[in-house]
Structure 1
Amino acid sequence: MDLADFALHRWTRRSVLTLGGLALAGCTGGGDGATRPAGTSFGIVDWVGYTPLYIAREKGYLPEAFNVRNFPSPGQGTLAFAGGKLEGGAEVTAGAVDVRAKGKDLRVVMVVDRSVGGDGILARHSIRDLADLKGRKVALELGSVSHFFFLQAIAGAGLSGRDITIINTPPDAAGAAYRSGQVEAAVTYAPYLGSANRAQADGRILFDSARLPDAISDIYVFDARFVQAHPEVVQGFVDAVLKGLADLQADPQAGYALTARLLNITPAEVEDYLRGLQLADLALNIDMLTNPNSKSYLPNALQSLARFLKDQGQIPAVPDLTNVVDPRFVLAARATQR
């Protein structure tokens, strides 16, 4: 997989909000997820943020009969999870809200990562600041996580989506449109963000997710009934991922090499992509999952996303998210480390 193909994998992962037409309605959660005896099936797509999970799988840290299944697109994995064919999987936060709104009862047990520079707003030098985007045309993908990130960014400058003319454009094409001069501003992410910025001398990255680190996160989720029936498996998964992260921190180059082999890119590329992410360690997980006074508190972020998705027509109503976040497994992991 070359850089363009890798970027396409990230685009499909990040564009999960376009899955509104998938046949998820009526999925009340679980299917046979709580009772299937043949092991635990867990769905992911290719993504450098899962490096600790890759390490855990490679070193045998995962619970017995825990099967990590790789899907070519998040749509396939989402359908499998919603239909009870998987016990768990990886999602973006907005994707989890979307699935919950369609009836799936799930639990967020762990944060994978959050974007801290991998996403950004490109703008010509003639655009002085975020407030100067008022009345301008901006290329971005409507209803995507990038859209939500953009609206949060401009809100800090006193603007709303009504102040901007949005040109609905996929992330790769948004970067290309900015690079070629078709638009004055665009919202995209690596590698499009960096390549468009380097190619267009009359412009720069006006704002990136390092200044709004709570806008875009990836999470690990499980079927709610499976969590209730098999908490020991979920605990074993969380512990294994944390061990994988510890190994990555102890020997980064080995971790980069492992992920590079799996994704068919170079270790240097893995390292470069990871610079735009903050992998969630135990302390960040506990802060995001349990601390209502934190700016990173995940239940608040999920509620904000739900309102946004409803306003954008992506979901029919804001779902009940009261019990979606389940922090007991990261808390138990902290207890065992004391």
Structure 2
Amino acid sequence: MKRMQWMVGTLVASLIGFSAAAGAQDLPKITIAMSGWTGFAPITLAKETGIFKKNGVEVEIKKMPTSNRHQAMAAGEVQAIATTVDTHILYASSGVDVTQVLVLDSSHGGDGIAVRPPIATVADLKGKQVAVQYGGVPQFWLAYVLKKNGLSIADVQTSNLQPSDAANAFVAGQFDAAVTYEPYLSKVREAKANIVVTSDQTPGVIIDTLAFQPDFIKKNPKVVDAVVKSWFEALEAIKADEKKAFELMGKDVNQTPEQFAASARFVRWYDKPMNQDYLSKTMPAFAKEVQDVMLDAKLIRRAPPSLEAMATTDFVK
């Protein structure tokens, strides 16, 4: 009991700004590429509260469009990427090898397709103008939803907009439909728009993971281990002081703690047992299904060299 109290106390101290000195290990600084998606927020929390530093790793966060992250990785500008399984497959198919080491979150209503009357069903999207980000999960998820409803992405007219821009344009009266995610989807919800489908109706399809390049993992296993450990500690910090955590995570995306809490309702963060189960049991079959959808929708031209090599359980055991 005393040991547990000490651990919780340490996490709370971290949450209010405590930053322990890095250990004796001389670990390099790394940069993680990601977006403002609510599911990634514990990464920001781990940085802002000193959890990464406590575990002996210096982390910089770079917000950038999905389509630019693998190019930045190939150029050595970033060492890790937080994004969806389908996007990692896109990267690997284009020649940037990545290995997923950690499941971050799954979307349970955090992604949605907003529509205008008279559109009432997914089938009604045929021939309509849809704002959707290319080369990322919005485009993949749109293709997945359309396929499940007897259509293909070729049956709609798409325009490439970032999720935040898609939400803003839709609320401003542009496009017949828009694909976006939290925290931007909240703006669409507040405008009382009709959301014809959310990720809550496609459970397990929008899954975010953290990946490094295979060579980096081989040369820097302690760095990877420190990052993974910090994620799990950030989740414990949220449990220890949710109000303060939501304040810090919301501030990063210009949300109040209350607004962030509303966004977080649609996200499920993955702890260590969930990671162990997903990476060992679910990932292999799911990755194959995602690959097939992407090939069918022509989102990728060819399959990655090896789906099996794209994930490891080594750091969540």
**TM-score (ref. length: structure 1):** 0.71
CA contact (8 A) 1:139 1:185 kept: yes
1:303 maps to 2:288: yes
Cα separation, 2, equivalents of 1:263 and 1:123: 25
- Distance 1:46-1:268 versus aligned 2 partners, 3 A rule: farther
How many angstroms apart in 2 are the aligned matches of 1:252 and 1:152?
34
Contact 2:167 2:188 in 1 (8 A): yes
- Show structure 1 runs of 5+ residues with no match: 1-36, 292-296, 333-338
Q: How far apart, CA to CA, are the structure 2 residues paired with 1:166 and 1:156?
A: 18
Q: Does structure 1 residue 90 correspond to structure 2 residue 82?
A: yes
Preserved contact between residue 179 and residue 197 of structure 1 (Cα < 8 Å): no
Task: Quote the residue 1:147 is aligned against.
Answer: 139
Deviations 1:134-153 (A, max 9, x none): 45554434544212212222
Match of 2:62 in 1: 71
* Aligned residue identity for 2:33: I
Please tell me the residue identity of whatever aligns with 1:103.
G
Residues 151 and 161, structure 1, Cα contact 8 Å, conserved in 2: yes
Partners of 2:33 and 2:136 lie apart in 1 by: 19
Q: Is the 8 A contact 1:71 1:77 kept in 2?
A: no
1:325 and 1:135, CA in 2 relative to 1: closer, same or farther beyond 3 A? same
Counterpart pick for 1:272 among 262, 276, 280: 262
Match of 1:327 among 302, 313, 317: 313
Go from structure 1 to structure 2 and tell me whether the alpha carbon gap of 1:63 and 1:234 turns closer, same or farther (over 3 Å shift). Answer: farther
Determine if the alignment matches structure 1 residue 248 to structure 2 residue 238. yes
The verdict on how the C-alpha distance between 1:83 and 1:61 changes in structure 2, with shifts beyond 3 A counting, is: closer
DSSP 3-state at the match of 1:285: helix
1:53 maps to which residue? Answer: 43
Identity of aligned residues (%): 28
Give the aligned partner of residue 179 of structure 2.
187
1:312–1:82 distance in 2 versus 1, CA, 3 Å: farther
- 2:57 corresponds to which letter in structure 1? F
Q: Give the distance between the partners of 2:78 and 2:126, measured in 1 at CA.
A: 45
Contact 2:129–2:175 at 8 Å: present in 1 too?
A: yes
Aligned equivalent of 1:107? 99
Distance 2:62 2:172 in 1: 34
Q: Match of 2:159, as an amino acid?
A: N
2-side partners of 1:233 and 1:178: how far apart?
42
- Aligned mates of 2:41, 2:165 — CA distance in 1: 28
Aligned partner (choices 226, 242, 245) of residue 216 of structure 2: 226
Contact 2:90 2:300 in 1 (8 A): yes
Query: Of residues 277, 281, 284 in structure 1, which corresponds to 2:271?
Result: 281
For residue 44 of structure 1, the aligned residue among 12, 33, 38 is 33
For residue 236 of structure 2, give the secondary structure of its aligned residue in structure 1. helix
Report the Cα distance in structure 2 between the residues aligned to 1:206 and 1:230, rounded to whole angstroms.
Answer: 45
CA distance in 2, matches of 1:157, 1:322: 30
What whole-Å deviation, never above 9, does each CA across 1:37-76 have from its counterpart, x for those lacking one? Answer: 7614132345343333334342435575412112242466
**Structure 1 Cα separation of the partners of residues 269 and 203 of structure 2:** 12
TM-score (norm 2): 0.75
Question: Structure 2: how far apart are the matches of 1:242 and 1:66?
Answer: 15
Q: Work out whether residues 123 and 185 of structure 1, in 8 Å CA contact, stay in contact via their aligned partners in 2.
A: yes
**Hey, what's the Cα distance between the residues in 2 that align with 1:298 and 1:250?**
30
242-251 or 120-129, which moves further after superposition? 120-129
Check whether the contact 2:39–2:267 (CA below 8 A) recurs between aligned residues.
Answer: yes
Amino acid at match of 1:115: S
Structure 2 unaligned blocks of 5 or more: 1-25
